[in-house]
């Protein structure tokens, strides 16, 4: 049990040394990831529609 408590104490101490990003940078990167994910999802959806069209009209 003492080892577990020591582990959590050391983890908390280590987290104080972490260089956390500023709130503005975090928000900017969050919106960037969401935006890129939406663009990729739209692109893949477009490809899916194109492939469905060709499969339904020419293959099947």
Q: Give the predicted TM-score (pTM) of the model.
A: 0.67
Residue pLDDT, tens place only, 6-60:
999 999 999 999 999 999 999 999 999 999 999 999 999 999 999 999 999 988 7
Quick one: DSSP state of residue 19?
-
Task: Report the alpha-carbon distance of residue 40 to residue 52 in Å, rounded.
Answer: 18
CB atoms within 10 A of CB 31: 10
Contacts for 29 with CB less than 8 Å, ≥ 6 apart: 21
């Amino acid at each position: 049990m003492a080892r577990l408590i020591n582990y959590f104490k050391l983890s908390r101490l280590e987290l104080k040394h972490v260089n956390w990003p500023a709130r503005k940078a975090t928000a900017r990167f969050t919106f960037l990831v969401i935006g890129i994910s939406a663009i990729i999802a739209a692109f893949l959806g477009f490809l899916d529609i194109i492939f469905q069209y060709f499969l339904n009209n020419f293959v099947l």
